[in-house]
Amino acid sequence: MPGLSEVEARRRFGGARVARLATVGPEGRPRLVPVVFALCRYDGADLIVTAVDHKPKTTTHLRRLTDITAHPAVSLLADDYEEDWDRLWWARADGDARVLPTGEVELRGIALGELCRKYPQYRQHPPEGAVIAVSVRRWTGWTARRAD
């Protein structure tokens, strides 16, 4: 069962519609949440961005924001499940996350622009909450068979 090259893992991850973000909570245990995201290049490096949006939540002070501030190491996982198990794959990005300050206008603008390009729902109602930027340190992945 072949692994994916970094280039292929990045390509598949970038094309996915949703990923799971893993942070570390204050008790040292992992927390996992689904996120919509965009992949972009910034300052010569891969950056994954996501934001607190208008989808219903009990609060906008999400635990993932507190987790990232205390412990910035995160992983994001995207995958594709199909009943034909020969077509299964996953791609993971490991990196360091930070919550962008509101004063960091340039990067916030790039992040929100990329999210609006990828998700039509954001074009009418762009995220107004916190923006998370993950600097990717490593791409890994797996596929049930080699890409054609």
- Report the CATH number at residue 120: 2.30.110.10
Number of structural domains the chain divides into: 1
Whether pLDDT at 139 is above 80: yes
pLDDT digit string, tens, across residues 31-69: 999 999 999 999 999 999 999 988 888 877 899 999 999
Q: How far apart, in whole angstroms, are the C-alpha atoms of residue 55 and residue 34?
A: 12
SS in 3 state form for 65-82?
A: HHHHHHCCEEEEEEEECC
Residue 146 located in a structural domain: no
Residue 117 located in a structural domain: yes
pLDDT at res. 15: 97
Residue 19 located in a structural domain: yes
Residue 5 DSSP class: P
Beta pairing partners, 3: 142
- 15's enclosing H/E stretch is helix 6-15
pLDDT digit string, tens, across residues 66-123: 999 999 999 999 999 989 999 899 999 999 999 999 889 999 999 999 999 999 999 9
For residue 29, the enclosing domain spans 6-139
Residue 144 located in a structural domain: no
Q: Which amino acid is at 75?
A: S
pLDDT at res. 148: 45
Indicate left, alpha or beta for 122 from its phi (over 0: left) and psi (-120 to 50: alpha): alpha
What is the model's pTM?
0.93
Q: How far is CA 68 from the centre of its chain?
A: 13
